[in-house]
Amino acid sequence: MSVSAETFGYVADLVRTHSAIQLVPGKEYLVESRLLPLAREKGLTGPAAVDSYVRDVRRSPDRGELTRVVEALTTNETSWFRDTSPFTALRQHVAPAARAQNPGTLRIWSAACSTGQEPYSIAMTLLENGERRFSVLATDLSTAVLAQARAGQYSQLEMNRGLPAAMLVRYFERAGAGWGVKDELRRTITFAQHNLLQPPPAGGPFDVVFLRNVLIYFDAATKRDILSRTRRAMRPGAHLVLGAAESMVGIDDAWERVPTAQGSVYRVPGGIS
């Protein structure tokens, strides 16, 4: 089973237009795996199910189905405290540096937050660090994943992906067969829909921005634009946390690289060094 070249080309163009994410040849398997559940919802089966589904979407006047296709292809895997080191850096360096510059409420932006594990992990890290005056704005392009993030309801399988047992007990409570976020954690976070191709969301200037595992999907020009807009939404001296495979090299030299114990983060010039 494999999608046709026509189907892949149409979906790749659609996703690029609405999100700037590049689906290069070789990603046909991703298009097929992400769209097959949508095709089955429509009663389409067999080797050409995805091709038939996309053909119907192209003919349909229902623009909502186009949104579902884009969201299916732009939703990424996530887990609690993913990659560990960014949260160590937040606890040991970034949060103390932000607090030294801002005695008021720290403002954190978790961009492309998916189903919410990252912003909840950020909030838990800060609460465990004794921080109480902070707010986290969590955004994503997909309204579907934001609905789950906002609800704060997770299955046992989702909870098993990286969440320490002590934090499970402290910040979550049983909700049917799964778990729900307790109010202490929930009230620290606001969720909102946002496209990184647009100006940054309201809520800044931000002291810390997590923009992890997102830039790898964009071309160099789009990365540069996103980083420039993000920087303008941050305080002088604020910190940016990227994914482990992401770098400013050859993209944007307007940031200061700050080595940490397990990697590095980036800093907006200015503020208190």
Q: Which residue, among 64, 61, 46, has the nearest Cα to 3 in the 3D structure?
A: 46
pLDDT > 90 in the chain, percent? 58
Measure the CA–CA gap between 73 and 268, rounded to whole angstroms: 32
pLDDT at 113: 94
Establish whether 62 is a catalytic residue. Answer: no
Establish whether 140 is a catalytic residue. Answer: yes
pLDDT tens digit sequence for 126-144: 999 999 999 999 999 888 8
Cis, bond preceding 205 (omega within 30 deg of 0): yes
Write the CA distances from 237 to 90, 98, 233, 234, 243, integer angstroms.
Answer: 14, 8, 12, 8, 20
CA angle 161, 128, 132 (to 5 degrees): 125
pLDDT at 207: 98
HSE (side-chain half, CA atoms, 13 Å) at 39: 20
> N- to C-terminal Cα distance for the chain?
56
Q: Which residue, among 78, 69, 62, has the nearest Cα to 17 in the 3D structure?
A: 69
DSSP states along 46-80: STTHHHHHHHHHHH-S-HHHHHHHHHHHH-----T
Tokens representing 116 are: 């919410």
- Across the range 6-21, mean pLDDT stands at 86
- Please say if the pLDDT value at position 80 is more than 90: yes
Would you place residue 209 in the very low, low, confident or very high pLDDT band (cuts 50, 70, 90)? very high
pLDDT tens digit sequence for 137-168: 999 988 888 999 999 999 998 999 999 999 99
Would you place residue 262 in the very low, low, confident or very high pLDDT band (cuts 50, 70, 90)? low
Q: State the catalytic residue, choosing from 51, 140, 150, 207.
A: 140
- Please say if the pLDDT value at position 1 is more than 60: no
- Please say if the pLDDT value at position 194 is more than 70: yes
Tokens representing 78 are: 């996530």
Would you place residue 24 in the very low, low, confident or very high pLDDT band (cuts 50, 70, 90)? confident
pLDDT tens digit sequence for 177-193: 899 999 999 999 999 99
